[in-house]
């Protein structure tokens, strides 16, 4: 169990010791929940850091779960087994909606710039947890097109089933807390809350100040 995302990030960082102080490592966090976790990892490793924009494709009738994900480069992952009555028109409408949200986040959270170059880099891909895995699967698919040296998935909590699957498509998977049965990412945290854009920007500013004050 973790107190909050910062606590989870610090504990996760300790398992990534071998990637510390390396110029070829970059931590990529999935907003919004993954940003505080990823920032703590980047602080500990003294690594480069950026945000990768991927969004869950949600059902028309609930925002609690999804059937796929969309990433900023247009990569789409659809879990055919989870469509549950969703029509092609529903999918197209949801992709368009999430594409707008991704563009908003690129503008607000990343200042409108492109993702940093990850060619020949060890990418540590961080979120605050993985339930169904659609967003992480889509993110991995996107990153593979950009020729990284290695993709490491690192999360505080995940379902054992998705960890097994991710081990087939990523080079390394680290998940600290993998309860079975797995119900929700929030169950791993004592202090769980939705993160706002303003909080993400504050975390990024804090990280920037940390980097400035702790130059290698």
pTM of the model: 0.96
Shortest CA distance to 59 belongs to which of 39, 74, 73, 79? 79
**Do residues 189 and 2 touch, judged by C-beta distance below 8 A?**
yes
Give the integer Cα–Cα distance in Å for 23 and 102.
Answer: 28
* Residue 38 banded pLDDT, cuts 50, 70, 90: very high
- State the CATH architecture for 5-213: 3-Layer(aba) Sandwich (3.40)
pLDDT digits over 198-213, tens only?
999 999 999 999 988 9
Phi then psi dihedrals of residue 196, to 5 deg? -95, 165
pLDDT digits over 55-91, tens only?
999 998 877 789 999 999 999 999 999 998 899 999 9
**Do residues 70 and 55 touch, judged by C-beta distance below 8 A?**
yes
Lookup: tokens for 153? 């998935």
CB atoms within 10 A of CB 65: 13
CA distances from 161 to 97, 106, 115, 181 (A): 29, 31, 30, 10
* Residue 216 banded pLDDT, cuts 50, 70, 90: low
76-78 vs 122-126, strand pairing mode: unpaired
Q: Does an H or E element contain 36, and which?
A: helix 33-45
């Amino acid at each position: 169990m973790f107190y909050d995302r910062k606590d989870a990030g610090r504990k996760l960082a300790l398992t990534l010791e071998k990637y510390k102080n390396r110029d070829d490592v970059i931590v990529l966090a999935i907003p919004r929940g993954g940003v505080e976790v990823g920032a703590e990892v980047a602080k500990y490793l003294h690594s480069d850091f950026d945000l990768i924009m991927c969004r869950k494709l949600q059902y028309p009738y609930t925002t609690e779960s999804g059937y796929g994900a969309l990433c900023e480069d247009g990569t789409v992952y659809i879990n055919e087994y989870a469509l549950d009555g969703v029509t092609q028109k529903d999918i197209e409408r949801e992709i368009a909606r999430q594409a707008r949200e991704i563009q908003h986040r690129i503008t607000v959270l990343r200042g409108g710039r492109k993702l940093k170059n990850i060619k020949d880099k060890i990418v540590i891909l961080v979120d605050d947890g993985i339930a169904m895995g659609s967003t992480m699967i889509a993110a991995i698919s996107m990153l593979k097109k950009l020729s990284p040296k290695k993709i490491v998935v690192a999360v505080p909590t995940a379902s054992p089933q998705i960890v097994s699957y991710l081990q087939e498509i990523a080079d390394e998977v680290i998940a600290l807390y993998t309860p079975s049965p797995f119900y929700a990412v929030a169950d791993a945290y004592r202090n769980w809350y939705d993160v706002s854009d303003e909080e993400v920007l504050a975390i990024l500013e804090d990280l920037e100040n940390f980097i400035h004050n702790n130059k290698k």
